[in-house]
Structure formats: C-alpha cells, structure tokens
Amino acid sequence: MKLEERIKALVELGQFLAAKPPELDVAVRRAYAENRWFIPDNSYAAVEAVRKEFLEEQALRAWASHYNLDNIKPRAVGLILAGNIPLVGFHDVLAVFLSGHIAKIKLSDKDSALMTLMVETLAQINPKTKAYLRMVDKLDDFDAVIATGSDNTARYFETYFGKYPNIIRHNRNSVAILIGDESLEELHALGRDIFTYFGLGCRNVSKIFVPQGYDFQPLLEELHKYNQIILNDKYKNNFDYAFTLYIMNKEFHMNNGCLILHEAESLSSRISTLHYAFYDDLDGLYRELAQKDDKIQCVVAKDAMDNLPYVPFGKTQSPGLMDYADGVDVMAFLVAL
C-alpha cells in the first residue's frame, strides 16, 4: 500500500467510529465482559480520544510529514501490547502501519475486543491492510520488537528480545505540581488526570507535589465531585482495602470518600490512593524530577518546565500523535529499520 492509501484507510476508520455503528457497541460489551475495569463509558471515551487525536486526516498528514516514509522496506515488527486501559496499544499499531512496516500484533487478553474491532474494520475498509496488520498468538519471524509491560516483564523482554532492534517499555507514572494558587477549575481538571480509567494508565496522575503549608481542603472538595467512581465495585474494593490498611497501620491519611491522600516517597500509588509530597522550592523540585525522568510519563502543571514532559491540567488522557510513550520516538525507530 502507498502512504496515501494507508492514510485514507485510517481516515475512513475514524469516520466509521464517528458514526457509532452497532459493531462498536458489540465490541464495547465484549471488552467489559473480558475486563471488568473496562466499563462502557471508559471504552467509548478511549475510542473517541483515538478518533479525534489519531484518525483525523490533517493530524495524520502532519505526523507523517515529520519523517521520510518514502521507499520504506517493509520489516516485520512484533508488537506486545499492554492492556491496562482501553486501546492503550493502538498508537504502536498505528505507527507501524503508517510507516509501511508489517505489524505482528500480540494482543493483551485484557484488551482484545476493541483492538480486534480496529484491525478487522481496517481490513473491511481496504483488504490490503491484512498484509500489514496481523494478529498472532505467538511472536515469531520478526525483525524488530516493541513491547510494553511492567518492570518485571520488561526484564524478560530485554533478555528474550535484546538481540533485535527494540523498544521495551517499563512502568511509568505521572505526577502533578501544585503551587497553591490553582483555580477550582484547574483542581477539578486535575481530577480527570487522576480518575479517568480508574487511574490505571501511565498517564494518570498518581502523585502530587505541593508547597509547605499547602491547604488540601479545596483540592479534596473538588476531587469529591468525582465521587460516583466509588459506585464501581472493583474501585470500591480497592478503596476499602487501602483505607483499612492505613487505619490498621495507624498511618496519617486524608479521605474525601472516593480518594485517599497519603504522604509517600513512591511515585506509584495504589488504585484509589493519591500520594503527595511537600517541596521547599520549585527549582529544586524540577531538578529532582528531571533525575527521575525514566520513571515519569507526564508532569501536570500550570506552566511548561525545561526538560520535563509538561501537560496542562486535565489533558493527560488526550495525547497527540507526537506524544510518544516513554518519550521514545517510535516512528523514528521504525524509519531507521
């Protein structure tokens, strides 16, 4: 397929999704059946984000224009996809397809229904895509690998795939920096960064940094407006478990009924818990975070910061095509194969 054909197929996929066809409803129901974290509202939100950010013609052409995609010699690229949030691996699939390489896709069993819909719909739009997008049960006969997993699985991936050109992703978390004069609207927007997809994504804020003497009350009140999340059984079970642990261990915490705030060093927090830490000066905090750049996906703040992956309040779950996971330019990697 020529680049123009690939772009056309992707644009038509976006149009298909925009029409909210019955096939989408079926896939959403299947996604919920295979993974109870994938409630329908979240699956529809993920599909809409993909449609708006990844499948608009102008955005696709702008993305492609950054690279030399002419005369690509097709290589087989094995993709091991994550399944923590709906369609989290679609950007990798999209990059391999648009670059002109062949994707051998090992789906996560936690996110197979929606990904299957995307691949099969592209095949219906243009049957030529079948040669470029292949779902497999086991990876073999590949030239390069892009694999996403936990720190534990990443060590396995590095051992097994180390001899091939590869991108291997580890655990990452996102953080927010508050300076104390945020508006209620900004604090409410931060709630989207925390609660969307139940906090299961690497772009979800799992820790906040606040100045000494910070008044948590306005933040707790704004985040309480997301309290319907506690009606989800899986989330509530995690909330109750974490709350019980803090009570039993006599650890100080703050609780607004749907989120627990706990002072901790770790960037990673339990589901339903938000870690926090105090800072004395912003410049020192920026230096500290820059030293942890291999563990941080996004930094939410009022203003951009040098050498840190800045995202405005409320925007962590709306990445664009050039917002690469772990800051690694996947398309440049693919072009160089």
Q: State whether residue 326 is helix, strand or coil.
A: helix
Could you tell me the residue range of the domain that residue 262 belongs to? 173-311
- 327 close to 58: Cβ distance less than 8 angstroms: no
Does 330 map to a domain? no
| Dist CA 255 CA 266 (whole Å) | 19
Indicate if 162 and 181 belong to the same structural domain: no
**At residue 332, what is the residue type?**
A
Q: What integer pLDDT is reported at residue 306 of this predicted model?
A: 82
- Nearest CA to 5 out of 87, 100, 82, 111 is that of 100
Give me the residues paired with residue 94 across strands. none
Instruction: Work out the angle at residue 174's Cα, subtended by the Cα atoms of residues 275 and 187, and round it to the nearest 5 degrees.
Output: 70
Q: What is the CATH number of the domain that holds 242?
A: 3.40.309.10
Indicate if 15 and 122 belong to the same structural domain: yes
Indicate if 54 and 191 belong to the same structural domain: no
Q: What integer pLDDT is reported at residue 307 of this predicted model?
A: 84
| Dist CA 173 CA 203 (whole Å) | 6
Indicate if 133 and 216 belong to the same structural domain: no
Count structural domains, the chain.
2
Does 325 map to a domain? no
Does 334 map to a domain? no
Q: What is the CATH number of the domain that holds 102?
A: 3.40.605.10
Percent of the chain clearing pLDDT 90 (strictly above): 92
Q: What integer pLDDT is reported at residue 124 of this predicted model?
A: 97
Domain boundary among 151, 171, 191: 171
Indicate if 83 and 153 belong to the same structural domain: yes
Q: What integer pLDDT is reported at residue 180 of this predicted model?
A: 95
| Dist CA 75 CA 245 (whole Å) | 50
Tokens 């073999």 label which residue? Answer: 140
Does 324 map to a domain? no
Low-confidence ranges of the chain (pLDDT < 70): none
- Nearest CA to 240 out of 228, 251, 221, 255 is that of 255
Indicate if 20 and 112 belong to the same structural domain: yes
Indicate if 93 and 191 belong to the same structural domain: no
Write the pLDDT tens digit of every residue in 192-219: 999 999 999 999 999 999 999 999 999 9
Indicate if 19 and 117 belong to the same structural domain: yes
* pTM score, whole prediction: 0.94
Write the pLDDT tens digit of every residue in 268-317: 999 999 999 999 999 999 999 999 999 999 999 998 888 899 999 999 99
Does 95 map to a domain? yes
| Dist CA 240 CA 147 (whole Å) | 33
Indicate if 188 and 201 belong to the same structural domain: yes
Does 301 map to a domain? yes
- Nearest CA to 86 out of 59, 119, 108 is that of 108
Indicate if 207 and 118 belong to the same structural domain: no
Write the pLDDT tens digit of every residue in 302-315: 988 888 999 999 99
Q: What integer pLDDT is reported at residue 154 of this predicted model?
A: 83
- 118 close to 110: Cβ distance less than 8 angstroms: no
**In the chain, which residue ranges form alpha helices assigned H by DSSP?**
3-18, 22-34, 40-54, 57-65, 90-99, 113-125, 151-161, 184-195, 217-224, 233-248, 282-290, 330-335
Does 321 map to a domain? no
Write the pLDDT tens digit of every residue in 158-175: 898 999 999 999 899 999
Indicate if 46 and 67 belong to the same structural domain: yes
Compute the CA torsion angle 195, 250, 171, 232 (nearest 10 deg): -30
Indicate if 163 and 275 belong to the same structural domain: no
Compute the CA torsion angle 16, 17, 21, 27 (nearest 10 deg): 130
Domain boundary among 171, 194, 217: 171
Does 137 map to a domain? yes
Q: What integer pLDDT is reported at residue 202 of this predicted model?
A: 95
